[in-house]
Amino acid sequence: MALNEYQPGDPAPYSGVFEELNIFGTPTGRVAVTAKDERLPASARGFNWRPLAQRSVAELRTRAADYRRIAETATTVQVADGLRALAKRFDALADQREQTKDGGP
């Protein structure tokens, strides 16, 4: 278990959004919004919870690419625009993390 991963049933260290990770550390797509000290939801054996804000730059870039790819097959303009907006937000967060890691602002 990584430093920022928590066991099911553990109290949340702070209020926020947590994502479930399978036994390989891969996000399952399940998320939970918890208040500080609220217990994290039950999960399958070996699964953990991680704060959504702890995603790596590579994970953020992958998610942005996924949203752009899905936007190409959207059936309405509104859905396509929403997916592209999500991709831009993930890319912006990745950019911000890269700058912070490199000693930027």
pLDDT at 87 over 80: yes
**Could you tell me if residue 31 is inside a domain?**
yes
Considering the domain architecture, whether residues 61 and 96 belong to the same structural domain is answered as: yes
Domain residues for the domain of 48 are 16-54
CA–CA distance from 47 to each of 18, 59, 104 (Å)?
A: 13, 18, 35
Pick from 58, 57, 67, 61: nearest CA to 87: 67
What pLDDT does residue 82 have? 93
Considering the domain architecture, whether residues 41 and 65 belong to the same structural domain is answered as: no
14-35 per-position pLDDT tens digit:
999 999 999 998 989 899 999 9
Helix (H, G, I), strand (E, B) or coil at 17: strand
pLDDT at 54 over 90: no
Write down the pTM of the prediction: 0.66
pLDDT at 2 over 70: no
pLDDT at 52 over 80: yes
Contact (CB, 8 A) for 85 and 72: no
**Could you tell me if residue 26 is inside a domain?**
yes
